[in-house]
Chains A and B, each alone.
Chain A
Amino acid sequence: MSTPIWITLLNIFGVLIATVILAAVLTWGERRLLGFWQDRPGPNRVGPFGTLQVLADMIKLFFKEDFIPRFADIPVFVLAPTVVMATMLIAFAVVPMSPGIGVVDLNIGLLFVLAMSSIAVYSIILGGYASNNKYALLGGLRAAAQTVSYEVFMGLSLMGVVMMSGSFNLRDIVNAQAERWFIMPQFVGFIVFFIAGIAESRRTPFDLPEAEHELTAGFHTEYSGMKFGMFFVGEYLAVILISALITTLFLGGWHGPWLPPIIWFCLKTAILVAIFILLRASLPRPRYDQLMKFGWKVMLPLALINLLVTAGVLLWTA
């Protein structure tokens, strides 16, 4: 490798710290945005515009009693929240943020991301199981079923992009979009991936594992303090990851006129994150059976058709 070690280290820690901080700031950002969309200010008491709310929340979470219920499976209970955060952070390693920024450049980058995001579901199942609480277990079960179902077409929906770029390497995929973003030829793929991404990150309207109206707080009912904080940050990391992936795969990554590449990347990601939050502000949660039906009966055929058509078109033009 020709790159100096310090640049690599800077890259690694820069990406790591930036994503974690972003995830933390998002806890404030989401509440603020939800507030605006609901005609109220949102958290605005701590610091300028309430920006220090993150800090306050963090202090609160750190100082809360780290309570572990005596009926819980303690080792698993402790391990579970770390898994989600770790996998999400690892997945960021392969995301190219600009020509010069990005931790590693794996040629199976896309598969790596999918693998990591799938491992994250363990965290939830284990958390739900280890809590030894019926709400938590139900939440965990839902998460497992939901992830397994949506994982299938999530991967399939990306195959169009892979076929068009001819690579699993995310950097190659970005470069393949220099002239034309894949959102145009792969619009269906984009939609399917977006929906699957929401389900994967368990955000409204697909937040059935939490579903506070039915399951108290779902898989993290028994969690409090920093362990809960890790689930929380893990969720925001997932939101950012999915947004970054969509940017990378469909929206041309860092490509854009005038502005520096990193700004373009961040801007596109930020808009997607905002759309995630807008979804939460506006859409109700479906019933569980509706969720499953929608996944298997609508999204999967759609993804398959998209794959076939893309393959057909590619063969035709080749």
Chain B
Amino acid sequence: MIASQLRSMWLVFKHLFRRNVTVQYPDQKPYLAPRYRGRIILTRDPNGDERCVACNLCAVACPPDCISLQKTEDPDGRWRPEYFRINFSRCIMCGLCEDACPTYAIQLTPDFEMCEYDRQNMVYEKEDLLINGPGKYHDYSFYQVAGKAITGKDKGEAENEAAPINIKSLNL
């Protein structure tokens, strides 16, 4: 018994000569991978249009229910969020919204420094979330693979689509 006590004391003592594992944040910023799960952003597709189509999947995947949005439809046929709100004071940065997003619109970034003195300032609206670029996925454009027609992309013009069927033809 005594031997084990002494042994553990010796083991602990040896740590005196180990290197510290502590990173001296904020003097010393750690490297964060591009896929680090930090502050959430909304991205745009390569044409500069909002990628979010307000499908609500992020909202339903969100464990603390901190995402809320309302679908609206533009005259060109695109779906878009009328408002898009993330309550970061509830967000747990789990990244499930990013996993759920079918259009790569919602992405998590390596920025996690979001302290505020007033909790109300942690509520981010769409204007705060939208960035001016495509984020981690440079070429993806949802409507190019979706079947829904929008202005500028008619039926049959998406990837892997045949021309629309003329139902008045013989269709042999």
Contacts and interface: CB of A to CB of B under 8 A. Distances in A.
B21 A282 contact: no
B8 interface: yes
Contacts of B169: none
Interface of A is mostly: helix
B9 A278 contact: yes
A29 B88 CA distance: 39
A62 interface: no
Contacts of B15: 36-39
A42 B144 CA distance: 55
Contact of B20 (A39, A278, A279): A39
Interface residues of A, number: 11
Interface of A: 36-41, 278-279, 281-283
A37 B21 contact: no
Given A37-B13, A37-B15, A38-B15, A283 B8 contact: yes
Contacts of B11: 282
Contact of A282 (B9, B20, B22, B24): B9
B12 interface: yes
27 contacts: A36-B15, A36-B16, A37-B12, A37-B13, A38-B15, A39-B15, A39-B18, A39-B19, A39-B20, A39-B21, A39-B22, A40-B20, A40-B21, A40-B22, A41-B20, A41-B24, A278-B12, A278-B13, A279-B9, A281-B12, A282-B5, A282-B9, A282-B11, A282-B12, A283-B5, A283-B8, A283-B9
B8 A41 contact: no
A2 to B, nearest CB: 47
A37 B21 CA distance: 11
Contacts of B20: 39-41
A37 B22 contact: no
Interface string B6-49: 00110111011011111010000000000000000000000000
Contacts of B24: 41
Contacts of B13: 37, 278, 282
A13 B88 CA distance: 57
B10 to A, nearest CB: 8
A53 to B, nearest CB: 16
A283 B1 CA distance: 12
B26 to A, nearest CB: 11
